[in-house]
Amino acid sequence: MDSLIKLFFCLSVYLLIGEISRVEGSDKNQRMYGFRPTKLFVFGDSYADTGNIKKSLSSSWKFPYGITFPGKPAGRFSDGRVSTDFLAKFVGIKSPIPYFWKDYAGKKRLQYGMNFAYGGTGVFNTQVPLPNMTTQIDFFQNILTAGDIYSSSDFTSSVALVSVAGNDYSTFIAQNRPASDFPAFIKQVVDQTEVNLRRIHALGVKKIAIPSLQPLGCIPGITVASSFQRCNESQNDLVKLHNNLLQQVVTKLNNETRQSTFIIIDLYNAFLTVFKNKGASPGSTTFESPLKPCCVGVSSEYFCGSVDEKGVKKYVICDNPKSAFFWDGSHPTEEGWRSVYSVLRESLTASFIKA
């Protein structure tokens, strides 16, 4: 277990420090579902954040982030679009406006929902002093209470994305807590996630999509130890515990509501499917070295987007971001996310058809 602590400490560097220091669809899409989604509300972290963090605080607003889309840094932790954008496209709406920019958006732009996700955050407080998921849901509730943007009728066709990508676990390690406490802490994270899901549903959201935890043992911050050749299966075993508990929660909630209100987006297996793809998965890119990131620091003290005190860049970028699954130490490229959602399309379609 001590070795797992060391591995998760590496993860804390990439998921926490690295994050802060440095669509429309068609009517054909919309007819696939048992209901017609018109709004997407998003909660979570850097896998879902599309620009909520202030420009001065985040590497997501620094070059080379955003070079694929929209062609410049725009607050996404990738070279382009992220999970939120692809889910919005899947359900047939534009990607929702970030909460931070709501006062600058017109009424028409707000009609697609709102994104409350902040990179580096978790269900509990992390080392990143930004709104955790409870506070994000508070923001959402306050907007509903004010009643000047959305009304209760807006939620009969709404979808929520609730992203929990591992920052709570990074924080656990950074706090030097005993390894023996890890399983109990995983349960605490999933229990709090259940509280959050219940609260979002009680506020009127029709469908709630919850990604499983991605295989953290496969992110570049971990696989660098094997020259990006192998995932760490011991670490992925802890991820499986999280995902098994999450599945139990979702099953329980759906039994209580007697509807398929809560949906698991199986990122864990979708990531692994893409990693192993040799051309058998239609629409999914075949990545020659799927565990190797496109953008890396020139040495271990630097990250993607790092510059020195003279403004000289201290990172390198691969020749073609579309050839890489991972963009930096922990985040997929736009092409990575596109491939993941290609793998997920069939299961998502089946989930959204259910009433």
Q: Which two tokens stand for residue 262?
A: 């809560």
Residues 41-85 pLDDT 10s: 999 999 999 999 999 999 999 999 999 999 999 999 999 999 999
Mean pLDDT, the chain, rounded, equals 89
Contact criterion met (CB below 8 Å) for 295 and 304: yes
The verdict on whether 328 is a catalytic residue reads yes
Q: Which of 49, 54, 53 is nearest to 82 (CA)?
A: 49
- Residues 41, 156: contact at Cβ < 8 Å? no
User: 262-265 and 158-162: which strand pairing?
Assistant: unpaired
In terms of DSSP bridges, do strands 315-317 and 295-297 run parallel, antiparallel, or are they unpaired?
Answer: antiparallel
Question: 265 burial class (0-12, 13-18, 19+ CB within 10 angstroms)?
Answer: buried
Q: Which of 328, 330, 339, 342 is catalytic?
A: 328
Beta pairing class for 262-265 and 97-98: unpaired
Q: Residue 21's pLDDT is what?
A: 45
Q: What are phi and psi of 178, to 5 degrees?
A: -60, 140
Structure tokens at 198: 């219940």
pLDDT at 114: 97
Residue that the structure tokens 């399983």 belong to: 183
Spatial contact of 265 and 257, defined as CB atoms under 8 Å apart = no
> How far, in Å, are 96, 166, 247 from residue 51 at the CA level?
11, 19, 30
Please report the beta strands in 16-175, taking only residues with DSSP state E, as ranges in sequence order. Answer: 39-43, 97-98, 113-115, 158-162
pLDDT per position as a tens digit, 268-290: 999 999 999 876 555 567 899 99
Burial string for 38-64 (b: 16+ CB within 10 Å, else e) reads bbbbbbbbbbbbbbbbeeebbbbbbeb
Picking from 106, 118, 89, the residue whose alpha carbon sits closest to that of residue 16 is: 118
Distance, CA of 93 to chain centre:
18
Instruction: Tell me if 65 sits within 8 A of 138, measured CB to CB.
Output: no
Residue segments in the chain with a per-residue pLDDT below the cut of 70: 1-35, 279-284, 354-355
Residues 6+ apart with CB under 8 A from 324: 287, 289, 292, 293, 294, 318, 333, 335, 336
- How many Å apart are CA 12 and CA 133, to the nearest integer? 19
- Given the residues 45, 331, 342, 351, the one annotated as active site: 331
Cβ–Cβ under 8 Å, residues 91 and 263? no
Catalytic residue among 12, 46, 60, 284: 46
Q: What are phi and psi of 264, to 5 degrees?
A: -85, 125
The token pair at 127 is 């080392």
